[in-house]
């Protein structure tokens, strides 16, 4: 059983518990449920830099990244830096995140927020909407084509953008459908945790131009982005690079300045 299998197994148990605790009707009554969402896909299309900056305390591959920063400061810092959107990890067991982090980020900035989560149930999309997300992540490796279709269509009915993440050609072929906004290529092999930008390069020509192309994982310098831009990538998810510093916002500001040079 690889790490993704373990996370997914635990997530099914967690979601079943959450559904018993908080009924759908309660989520739908949330103040944020009627909030107009902001499109990350549109932001990326109009941007020259395309940075999606992440709030992530820890990960299974790196253990603790940064446990000392508060979400409010990180969100404000990223917004001031001029990023296109912010990704917020909401998984507790493996990444140290929570839905409260999403709520705090929403109260702290006007950026499009991506709920970074292992989605296996429509209930989690209602949670995302109720806690202030604008975008949801679907991971092809843990979903069937029918699930991807059902979840992405449901997300669109909630006015949420959909980022679909793939790791290889097989996942990409089963996933392409009109209800997606962005196709993300994760450069990390989830079985070995090795990272290679070649994954993004090799899959780029297979992604139809209707979708915003996003490259994820292993992007730690400006050169990586400049290498990927000619392959049609408009979005770059940066997880650990900013979070492993004392001030992610300041580092994101400098990174974007260097990228614009």
Q: Angle 156-120-178 (CA atoms, 0-180°, nearest 5)?
A: 30
Q: Choose the catalytic residue: 54, 79, 117, 240.
A: 54
Known catalytic residue: 54?
Answer: yes
SS3 label, residue 118 = coil
Known catalytic residue: 116?
Answer: yes
Known catalytic residue: 6?
Answer: no
Q: Choose the catalytic residue: 87, 175, 186, 241.
A: 186
Residue 113 burial (CB < 10 Å; 0-12/13-18/19+)?
Answer: buried
SS3 label, residue 220 = coil
Cβ(81)–Cβ(252) under 8 Å? yes
Tokens 């392959």 correspond to 231
Q: Choose the catalytic residue: 165, 175, 213, 215.
A: 165
Q: Choose the catalytic residue: 66, 217, 241, 251.
A: 217
CA distances from 29 to 12, 16, 34, 35, 119 (A): 24, 20, 9, 12, 22
Q: What tokens does 112 get? A: 């499009």
Q: Choose the catalytic residue: 11, 43, 56, 79.
A: 56
Q: What tokens does 126 get? A: 């209602």
Known catalytic residue: 30?
Answer: no
Known catalytic residue: 217?
Answer: yes
Non-local CB neighbours of 75 within 8 Å, separated by 6+ positions = 55, 86, 104, 105, 108, 109, 111
Non-local CB neighbours of 83 within 8 Å, separated by 6+ positions = 51, 52, 53, 111, 252, 256
Beta bridge partners of 161: 135
Q: Choose the catalytic residue: 216, 240, 241, 251.
A: 216
Q: Choose the catalytic residue: 59, 66, 108, 116.
A: 116
Q: CA dihedral defined by 245, 213, 174, 201, rounded to 10 degrees?
A: -80
List the catalytic residues: 54, 56, 116, 165, 186, 216-217
């Amino acid at each position: 059983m690889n790490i993704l299998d373990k996370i997914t197994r635990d997530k099914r148990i967690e979601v079943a518990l959450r559904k018993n605790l908080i009924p759908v009707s309660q989520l739908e009554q949330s103040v944020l449920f009627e909030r107009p969402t902001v499109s990350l896909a549109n932001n990326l299309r109009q941007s020259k830099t395309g940075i999606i900056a992440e709030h992530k305390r820890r990960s299974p591959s790196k253990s603790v990244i940064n446990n000392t920063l508060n979400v409010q400061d990180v969100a404000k810092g990223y917004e001031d830096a001029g990023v296109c959107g912010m990704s917020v990890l909401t998984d507790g067991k493996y990444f140290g995140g929570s839905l409260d982090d999403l709520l705090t980020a929403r109260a702290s900035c006007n950026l499009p927020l991506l709920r970074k989560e292992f989605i296996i149930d429509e209930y989690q999309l209602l949670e995302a909407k109720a806690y202030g997300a604008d975008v949801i992540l679907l991971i092809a490796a843990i979903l069937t084509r029918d699930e991807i279709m059902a979840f992405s269509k449901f997300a669109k009915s909630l006015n949420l953008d959909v980022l679909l993440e793939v790791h290889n050609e097989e996942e990409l072929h089963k996933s392409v459908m009109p209800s997606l906004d962005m196709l993300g290529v994760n450069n990390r092999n989830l079985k070995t945790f090795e990272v290679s930008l070649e994954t993004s390069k090799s899959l780029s020509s297979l992604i139809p131009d209707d979708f915003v192309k996003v490259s994820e994982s292993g992007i730690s310098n400006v050169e990586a982005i400049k290498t990927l831009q000619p392959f049609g990538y408009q979005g770059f998810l940066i997880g650990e690079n900013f979070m492993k510093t004392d001030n992610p916002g300041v580092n994101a500001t400098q990174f974007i300045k260097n990228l614009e040079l």
